[in-house]
């Protein structure tokens, strides 16, 4: 009995996602030595087992979600939106640190003994909500005043709560919302107006953070430092990351120095997460890194193909809303590693170590597969009942 019989939806997406997540075992295992010998956290094999367990749980999430009829995500997004807003507020107000990191990105779950990055769940829920909004409004004219309350208030609320702790995630989320709004038929003049308002609000936040630095410790300074480092200035720590990443890429050459043989993984901070692509380029060379890029491009191609084939407007927008952030985030991570973008702190989807971000990526892929599974089911039903189709035409 073939396993594929139990897998519904686009088989190419299944193959790409599983292949990427299995491949992640190698670079995560290699780069985890940084956490062991530099940070002093656990063992290399222990980090590998943890990552394998997280990926396996992610596969279960993806499989379970892809069995849910995608129309249910319309109602689930409405229910989930107030929940994620509350979680973001609680996360932002806790004011503690986790492993020395800014805890305004995470919330602790004492019963499970784990921490949860609420912005990743909020991203999936908000984008599903936005897709549903424009699906409902497809046959209606969109009034600007009404959209302010039902569309932009939830968007700015979620993005605003994410912004102080994670600028890059907030900007990426707003960008995808704008893309979905454009594809959903939102008037261009209104969309440009809201993007302009977003820029004004961001400027006001920066000025406020500068005026009251104790309320937002180090965040604006960190953003400015990363931008300055990208332009050739900035602090030594950020420049250190960029220079080491560039060195790793240069050492890798065309074919790389071999799996597990990275020399930069022990001197490059975040080598198992934010800068894992640099380690992949070092160990597997240009061939390996370009192959990884090709897989994400192929994933983008399948997302666009399936969105175009979906007979439901909600399904089309849902596929794009779930798929575009994954591919965009991957391109951003790769761009940072090869120094064509400033440091953002975005992990490489399906590859970098981590819990919540991986699970939410699998959740998003599961939603995409749910839409494609529904399309295939409709097609199969039409083929199996040609008399019904002929009677409808008659």
Dihedral sign, Cα of residue 83, residue 88, residue 93, residue 94: positive
In a domain, 1, yes or no: no
Mean pLDDT (whole number) for 346-373: 93
**pTM of this prediction?**
0.88
Tens digit of pLDDT for each residue in 80-110?
999 999 999 988 887 544 444 454 577 766 6
Q: How many domains does the chain have?
A: 1
In a domain, 300, yes or no: yes
In a domain, 19, yes or no: yes
DSSP state of 106: E
Domain that holds residue 347: 8-377
In a domain, 386, yes or no: no
The residue that leads in pLDDT, 85 or 265, is 85
In a domain, 385, yes or no: no
Mean pLDDT (whole number) for 114-124: 86
The answer, yes or no, to whether residue 113 has pLDDT greater than 70, is no
Residue 48 · residue 25 · CB < 8 Å: yes
Tens digit of pLDDT for each residue in 219-259?
666 666 666 566 556 555 557 788 888 889 998 899 989 88
The residue that leads in pLDDT, 207 or 316, is 316
Kindly compute the dihedral angle of the four CA atoms of residues 374, 379, 383, 388, in this order, to the nearest 10 degrees: 80
Report d(CA 274, CA 352) in Å as an integer: 7
In a domain, 387, yes or no: no
Kindly compute the dihedral angle of the four CA atoms of residues 303, 306, 311, 313, in this order, to the nearest 10 degrees: 10
The b-or-e profile of 267-279 (16+ CB within 10 A means b, else e) is ebbbbbbbbbbbb
In a domain, 91, yes or no: yes
In a domain, 37, yes or no: yes
Q: In Å, how far are 64, 109, 270, 273, 311 from 353, measured between CA atoms?
A: 22, 20, 10, 5, 36
Return the SS3 of 139. Answer: coil
Tens digit of pLDDT for each residue in 170-226?
999 999 999 999 999 999 999 999 999 999 998 888 888 777 766 665 566 666 666
Residue 370 · residue 131 · CB < 8 Å: no
Residue 370 · residue 9 · CB < 8 Å: yes
């Amino acid at each position: 009995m073939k396993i594929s019989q139990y897998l519904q939806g686009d088989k190419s997406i299944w193959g790409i996602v599983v292949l990427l997540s299995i491949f992640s075992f190698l670079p995560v295992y290699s780069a985890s030595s940084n956490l062991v010998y530099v940070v002093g956290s656990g063992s290399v094999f222990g980090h590998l087992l943890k990552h394998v367990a997280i990926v396996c749980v992610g596969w279960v999430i993806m499989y379970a979600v892809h069995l849910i009829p995608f129309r249910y995500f319309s109602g689930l997004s409405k229910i989930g939106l107030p929940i994620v807003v509350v979680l973001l507020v609680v996360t932002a107000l806790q004011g503690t640190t986790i492993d020395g990191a800014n805890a305004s990105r995470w919330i602790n779950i004492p019963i499970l003994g784990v921490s949860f990055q609420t912005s990743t769940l909020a991203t999936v829920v908000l984008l599903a909500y936005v897709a549903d909004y424009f699906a409902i409004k497809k046959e209606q004219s969109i009034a600007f005043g009404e959209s302010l309350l039902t569309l932009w208030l939830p968007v700015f609320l979620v993005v605003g709560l994410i912004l102080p702790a994670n600028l890059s995630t907030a900007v990426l989320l707003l960008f995808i919302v704008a893309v979905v709004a454009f594809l959903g038929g939102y008037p261009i003049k209104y969309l440009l107006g809201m993007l302009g308002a977003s820029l004004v609000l961001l400027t006001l936040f920066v000025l406020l953070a500068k005026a009251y630095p104790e309320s937002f410790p180090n965040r604006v300074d960190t953003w400015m430092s990363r931008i300055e480092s990208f332009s050739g200035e900035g602090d030594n720590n950020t420049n250190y990351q960029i220079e080491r990443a560039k060195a790793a890429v240069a050492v890798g050459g065309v074919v790389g120095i071999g799996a597990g043989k990275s020399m930069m993984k022990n001197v490059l901070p975040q080598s198992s997460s934010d800068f894992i692509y640099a380690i992949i380029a070092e160990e597997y060379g240009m061939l390996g890194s370009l192959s990884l890029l090709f897989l994400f491009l192929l994933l983008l191609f399948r997302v666009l193909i399936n969105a175009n084939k979906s007979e439901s407007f909600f399904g089309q927008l849902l596929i794009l809303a779930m798929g575009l952030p994954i591919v965009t985030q991957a391109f951003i991570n790769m761009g940072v590693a090869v120094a064509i973008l400033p440091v953002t702190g975005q992990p490489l989807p399906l590859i970098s170590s981590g819990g919540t971000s991986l699970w939410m990526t699998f959740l998003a892929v599961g939603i995409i597969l749910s839409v494609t599974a529904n399309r295939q089911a409709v097609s199969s039903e039409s083929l199996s009942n040609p008399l019904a189709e002929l009677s409808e035409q008659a």
